[in-house]
Amino acid sequence: MKDLTKGKVFLIGAGPGDPDLLTLKAVKALNTADVVVYDRLVSPEIMALVPKGTRRIDVGKQPKCHKVPQEGINALLIDLAAKGLCVARLKGGDPLIFGRGSEEAEELRLAGIAHEYVPGITSAQGAATSTGVPLTHRGLATGVRYVTGHRAKDATLDLDWPSLASEDTTLVVYMGAMNIADIAEKLRKNGLPGTLPVMAIASATTPREKRLVATLNTIAEEMAASDLSAPVLFIIGHVVSLYGEAAAAQPFPDRVAAYA
């Protein structure tokens, strides 16, 4: 008979990539875990913090090529914890923002496995602080909305476009690289000006970070011509006009040097 009281799963947000952005709680969980189950978005810099002897299981998904299906991940977590192991389930960003953390928690709950969330810095916030582009700013944005730019199994992106096309609100689009032409067109058709600034940020907060500033009119074309590769996030709105003015807009290596 398995003793389900011993094992536990920590559903941990690894943040956008910079290991300095991990919470202390995440680091503690990584240091005490018997096994780390991690996603594609977890940066190599963060994986380097996992103690050498700790078992690692890569369940990372490449776009359109799921390495381990979600059901398999759920079963794996249950199986490991049911063996009495302490499992660090490491996810990019925050586990509860487009991270399926709550789906995994629900399966663990149904299986009677102890689990706990450890929040992470979501990539929108990582990208904002890394580039110096605020998500809200008096006079430019009264709020911010996080939306997905991709639907499961490539279903139509049927977002509430009239509501999203608000010039007063910053729109952050996750997983939108494949559909950015469609997204920009729908936002324009629903009333946003084609001159509205857009910023694409790839691999925010990592040494691989890249940025592209364009407008709703030009973002699709400029993305196609650029060398930005996944993961990419879009910040759409007047706040992007502040890019370059903020002191935080400096490349990653300089920031690290500043800590040294």
Sites of contact with ligand SAM (CB under 6 A): 16-17, 41, 91-94, 97-99, 122-123, 126-127, 174-175, 201-205, 231-233
Catalytic annotation, pick one of 18, 39, 199, 223: 39
Tell me the β-bridge partners of 230: none
Catalytic annotation, pick one of 18, 94, 175, 186: 175
In whole angstroms, give the CA distance from residue 166 to residue 156.
Answer: 21
Q: What is the closest distance, in whole angstroms, from the C-beta atom of residue 219 to ligand SAM in the complex?
A: 14
Give the residue with the Cβ less far from ligand SAM, 19 or 99: 99
Antiparallel, parallel or unpaired: β 65-66 and 35-38? unpaired
Q: What is the closest distance, in whole angstroms, from the C-beta atom of residue 21 to ligand SAM in the complex?
A: 10
Q: In the chain, where does DSSP find H-type helix?
A: 24-32, 44-47, 70-82, 101-111, 123-131, 161-164, 180-189, 219-225, 252-259
| 154 closest CA partner among 172, 175, 181, 171 | 175
Give the residue with the Cβ less far from ligand SAM, 4 or 148: 148
Q: What is the closest distance, in whole angstroms, from the C-beta atom of residue 84 to ligand SAM in the complex?
A: 28
Give the residue with the Cβ less far from ligand SAM, 187 or 233: 233
* Distance linking the first and last C-alpha atoms of the chain: 52
**DSSP 8-state symbol, 97:** S
Active site residue 64: no
With beta carbons less than 8 A apart as the criterion, state whether 237 and 201 touch: no
Give the residue with the Cβ less far from ligand SAM, 97 or 240: 97
Write the CA distances from 200 to 20, 219, 231, integer angstroms: 23, 8, 10
Q: What is the closest distance, in whole angstroms, from the C-beta atom of residue 145 to ligand SAM in the complex?
A: 14
Active site residue 20: no
Give the residue with the Cβ less far from ligand SAM, 46 or 80: 46
Q: What is the closest distance, in whole angstroms, from the C-beta atom of residue 47 to ligand SAM in the complex?
A: 14
Catalytic annotation, pick one of 25, 61, 83, 210: 61
With beta carbons less than 8 A apart as the criterion, state whether 138 and 167 touch: no
Active site residue 91: no
In whole angstroms, give the CA distance from residue 209 to residue 259.
Answer: 19
Nearest residue by C-beta to ligand SAM?
93
Q: Mind telling me the catalytic residues?
A: 39, 61, 175
